[in-house]
Amino acid sequence: PVPRPLAGKRVLITAGPTHEPIDPVRYIANRSSGKQGFAIAAAAQAAGAEVILVSGPVDLSDPQGVTVKHVESARQMLEQVRAALPADIAIFAAAVADWRVANEGEQKLKKTSAGMPPLQLVENPDILATIAKLTDQRPPLVIGFAAETEHLIDNAKSKLARKGCDWIVANDVSPATGVMGGDRNTVHLISRKSGEKDGELAVDSWPAMTKEQVAIELVAHIAK
């Protein structure tokens, strides 16, 4: 028999970028491919979990046996995440846009002699922090990602504290690493040593591997 260590567990995962509309034909986006989040969804499903994947716009096909909710913007992503609760484990792998356009054009913006269109940005909700700080429906294990281009471990540690999650998967996304959009990833798993709220942080650095292997290792850690 195939081992199914996550049988009976409900796992919620976010993946991909978000698209924030500027007008009916334009948007703000980022270079996230969704590959890491989709690989985690597939690995959790293979481990026997019931998986709900909330994904921004990506070029990937839905993983077998996973419930996928397709969204575009950060606000839509938060709405689908809330609707998917309760969950036993929540993994936030999406590269959510930090800002959206406040004055979204109802019609396509035109070039005018008056100069550049005045785009006003407002902050998007932080989906991970929102869910990690819920008092009623907080999943028992909340995992965030930290994609950084400098001071990786320090930034990831402060992110864990600031957002209130239990673990952070930190990865270096400097262009030279090829992680953004690529097939491989080098990650550091940051967690509280004692499992207590204010416990000391442990850093577990994994060797470079494929995003599928990162997903399988992460699921194995969750199962433990």
Instruction: Using CB under 6 A, pick the residue from 28, 53, 71, 146 that binds ligand C5P.
Output: 146
Q: Is 30 a catalytic residue?
A: yes
Three-class SS of residue 45?
A: helix
In the complex, minimum distance from the CB of residue 146 to ligand C5P, in angstroms, rounded to a whole number = 5
User: Residue 43 or 170: which CB sits closer to ligand C5P?
Assistant: 170
Rule CB under 6 A: is residue 159 a binding residue for ligand C5P? yes
The half-sphere exposure of 28 on its side-chain side, counting CA atoms within 13 A, is: 18
Residue 190 CB contacts under 8 Å (≥ 6 apart), including other chains: 153, 156, 157, 160, 167, 168, 169, 170, 201, 202, 203, 204
Rule CB under 6 A: is residue 160 a binding residue for ligand C5P? no
Closest CA to 21 of 145, 109, 126: 109
- Write the DSSP assignment of 196-221 as a string of letters: STTPPEEEEEPPPEEHHHHHHHHHHH
In the complex, minimum distance from the CB of residue 110 to ligand C5P, in angstroms, rounded to a whole number = 31
For the four alpha carbons of 36, 38, 39 and 44, in that order, the dihedral sign comes to positive
Encoded one letter per residue, x for contact with ligand C5P by CB under 6 A and - for no contact, window 35-64 reads: ------------------------------
Compute how many residues bind ligand C5P; rule: CB under 6 A: 13
In the complex, minimum distance from the CB of residue 155 to ligand C5P, in angstroms, rounded to a whole number = 8
Rule CB under 6 A: is residue 17 a binding residue for ligand C5P? no
Query: Catalytic amino acids?
Result: 30
